[in-house]
Structure 1
Amino acid sequence: MPKNKKKAESSSSDSDDGPVDKNQPPEKKAKMGSRTDDKEPTWVLQGKKLVKIREFKGKVYIDIREFYEKNGELLPGKKGISMTPDMWRKLLSLSDEINETISSMC
């Protein structure tokens, strides 16, 4: 953990500006943990934090992102991460080790 940890600002994000499609159609609201009927496969983690499988510039990404509502539409925000399928598989392969570490800290 870095020694000089900055205090997070509500408008800042540590994420890259990855594939954010600002012209995407409005989404239907979904219950927590359920899949929406969106054209893109979508699951709700909590509130407006969603997991989507999206295509951007001909490539597939797993997009974990916080969305915001504007004029009745859910739009992708900057806070999030987009992973290639290889990165997603790598994260999943680390899940047991990550869970053990979490358990030892709690």
Structure 2
Amino acid sequence: MEKSRSKRGKTREEDGVVSDGDEPQKKVPKPDDDSDESDTIFICELSKNRKVSVRNWMGKVVVDIREFYFKDGKEFPGKKGISLSMDQWKILRDHVDEIDKEIDT
């Protein structure tokens, strides 16, 4: 529900409810950091800090190639990495032989 403020400082919600703004706003609890892991399938470790996984992100399945780091004894995904959509993954997969040929030459 979107809220807007009137000139008098009252909050008006789209459904017509008006509040004076004196009420504390309800806080929505943040999901745990580990909540996303249930949708992540670890595939392989490329090196010490790089991994390939398949996960559900915003309702879409992606192939995630990412660097990880440790903080306070926990492993977290880093900023360096790429998430390939299924279309992008299929294109890459279909061109693996061509990539291998270029590497060998």
Tell whether the structures are fold-level matches, with TM greater than 0.5: yes
**2-structure distance, mates of 1:86, 1:57:** 16
Tell me the TM-score normalised to structure 1 length.
0.61
CA drift of 1:48 comes to 1.5
Aligned residues with identical type, % of pairs? 40
Question: Which sections of structure 1, spanning at least 5 residues, go unmatched?
Answer: 1-22, 26-37
**1-structure distance, mates of 2:33, 2:48:** 19
**2-structure distance, mates of 1:56, 1:24:** 14
Please tell me whether residue 88 in structure 1 is matched to residue 89 in structure 2: yes
Where does residue 102 of structure 2 map in the other structure? 101
Aligned length, in residue pairs: 70
**2-structure distance, mates of 1:101, 1:74:** 35
1:27-57 deviation per Cα after TM superposition (whole angstroms, max 9, x unaligned): xxxxxxxxxxx74211211112011111111
When Rg is computed on C-alpha atoms for both structures, the one with the higher figure is: 2
**1-structure distance, mates of 2:53, 2:33:** 13
Matches within 5 A, 1:1-106: 24-25=33-34, 39=38, 40-42=40-42, 43-104=44-105
SS at match of 2:87: helix
| Matched letter for residue 50 of structure 1 | K
| Runs of 4 or more consecutive aligned structure 1 residues displaced over 6 Å after TM superposition | none
Give yes or no for contact 1:24–1:75 (8 Å, CA) kept in 2.
no
Give yes or no for contact 1:67–1:75 (8 Å, CA) kept in 2.
yes
Shift in CA distance, 24/50, structure 1 to aligned 2, threshold 3 Å:
farther
1:48-69 deviation per Cα after TM superposition (whole angstroms, max 9, x unaligned): 2011111111111100000000
Where does residue 16 of structure 1 map in the other structure? none
CA drift of 1:93 comes to 0.6
**2-structure distance, mates of 1:24, 1:91:** 30
